[in-house]
């Protein structure tokens, strides 16, 4: 592996073990076996490296989720069944990546001081909205990108809210079944 690759692997490991704010440049250099100067050379800053690592690790998490769901979800299944199945898997995979999700929330209060991190995170958020629309709905509407974005934004907001609750109090955070029940109640109220 190259120094850049070693630093990225070290950053992902440190995010999982220490989180975003507790990881130091020295931690990254020690875990990667690369000099401190290599961080600046390859990524510009420790924060830029960690944010890129967080995005890549989150993409790996999403890939793991998609792989798990690919064999389980019938594309013709009713939305409520798809919804509960996706949420069951999200919570299972999130459990295995708890510190990574904590790191995602941990960076939020500092985002104004890190414009380069904000830019990378905003781009990743937009991509996540697109992916979530397809993951939950089963298909996107090629003729209506505004509808796709709205659906993706809804699922993204729900996901971040549920994961925040789960990080704080996993025993009382909503389950996949709770979320599906709520969706049915809300849909009935909207339709009625």
pLDDT digits (tens, 9 = 90+) for 142-187: 788 888 889 999 999 999 999 999 999 999 999 999 999 999 999 9
Q: What is the pLDDT of residue 106?
A: 86
Mean pLDDT score, 74-94: 86
Domain boundaries of the chain, sorted by first residue: 54-191
pLDDT at 7 over 90: yes
For all residues of the chain together, what is the average pLDDT?
Answer: 88
CA distance 125 to 141: 19
**How far lies 11's CA from each of 28, 90, 104, in Å?**
6, 23, 13
CA distance 167 to 161: 10
Q: What is the pLDDT of residue 139?
A: 66
Q: How confident is the model at residue 65 (pLDDT cuts 50, 70, 90)?
A: confident
Task: Look at the block and give the residue holding tokens 């509808």.
Answer: 147
pLDDT, tens digit, 9 for 90 and up, residues 93-147? 888 888 888 888 888 887 888 787 788 778 888 888 888 888 787 667 778 888 8
Please, which residues have CB within 8 angstroms of residue 116's CB and are 6 or more apart in sequence?
44, 45, 47, 48, 51
């Amino acid at each position: 592996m190259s120094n850049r690759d070693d630093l990225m692997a070290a950053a992902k490991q440190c995010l999982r073990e220490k989180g975003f704010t507790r990881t130091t440049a020295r931690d990254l250099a020690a875990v990667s076996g690369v000099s401190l100067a290599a961080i600046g050379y390859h990524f510009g800053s420790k924060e830029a490296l960690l944010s890129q690592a967080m995005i890549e690790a989150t993409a790996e998490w999403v890939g793991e989720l998609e792989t798990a769901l690919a064999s389980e979800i019938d594309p013709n299944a009713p939305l409520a069944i798809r919804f509960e199945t996706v949420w069951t898997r999200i919570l299972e995979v999130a459990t295995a990546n708890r510190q990574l999700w904590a790191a995602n929330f941990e960076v939020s209060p500092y985002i104004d001081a890190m414009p380069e991190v904000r830019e990378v995170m905003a781009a990743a958020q937009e991509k996540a909205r697109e992916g979530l629309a397809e993951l939950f709905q089963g298909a996107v509407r090629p003729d209506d990108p505004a509808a796709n974005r709205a659906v993706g934004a809804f699922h993204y907001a729900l996901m971040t809210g549920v994961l925040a609750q789960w990080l704080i109090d996993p025993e009382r955070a909503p389950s996949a079944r709770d979320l599906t029940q709520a969706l049915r109640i809300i849909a009935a109220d909207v339709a009625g």
